[in-house]
Every structure is written in structure tokens, then in C-alpha cells.
Amino acid sequence: MTLALRRIERLNLLLGVALTAVRARVADRVREGAPAKGFGFALLGKMAALFGLVFVAIRVAHLAVIPFALGFSVFVVSIFLVGLGAARPEPEA
């Protein structure tokens, strides 16, 4: 594995851990009764950043559009399916 790929992996791991910790903290606050407005604004900001990064990936980095779109579509479908599973109430034992 090249040095660049190792750096990317480490950065992805670091970002994943940091964002998971932030998400958990915000979700706990919402469960305790804090308004969820900040959660919505964070989601809006994240989506705006993702749209910007997609533009950069296609226009600046010259990624092939069709494979990128197919990969992104699979990612969105997987998030949707996981979200549906998480939204189901758990049966009481």
C-alpha cells in the first residue's frame, strides 16, 4: 500500500471517530429534551459540504462521472436501508 493511501486511511479513521463522538453527544442532548434544530442545521451543513466535494471531485479532480455516480448511488441506498432498519421499534422482551 502506498504512503498516500495509508494517510487517507488514517485521516478517514480519525474523521470517523471524531464525527461519531460528536453525533453521539448531540443525539444524547436531543434525547434529553434539547431542541433538535441544531441537529438539522448540522445535517444541512454536511450536505452542502458533500455537494461541494462532489463538484470538486468531478470538475477539478476529473473523476469519471458514471462510475462515481454509480458508487454514490449505492452509498445513498445503503444509508437509506440502514436508516429504515434503525427507525423500526425494537420489540419488548
pLDDT in tens, 21-47: 888 888 888 788 888 777 778 788 888
Please tell me whether the overall predicted TM-score, pTM, comes out greater than 0.85 for this model: no
Say if residues 42 and 26 touch (Cβ distance below 8 Å).
yes
Q: What's the pLDDT at 84?
A: 80
Q: What's the pLDDT at 93?
A: 63
Strands (E), the chain: none
Sign of the alpha-carbon dihedral angle for 70, 72, 75, 81: negative
Compute the residue count for the chain: 93
Q: Is the pLDDT reported for residue 13 higher than 70?
A: yes
What digits encode the pLDDT tens for the residues 76-93? 888 788 878 776 776 776
What does the alpha-carbon distance between residue 88 and residue 93 come to, in Å, rounded to a whole number? 15
- Amino acid identity, position 69: A
Say if residues 39 and 26 touch (Cβ distance below 8 Å).
yes
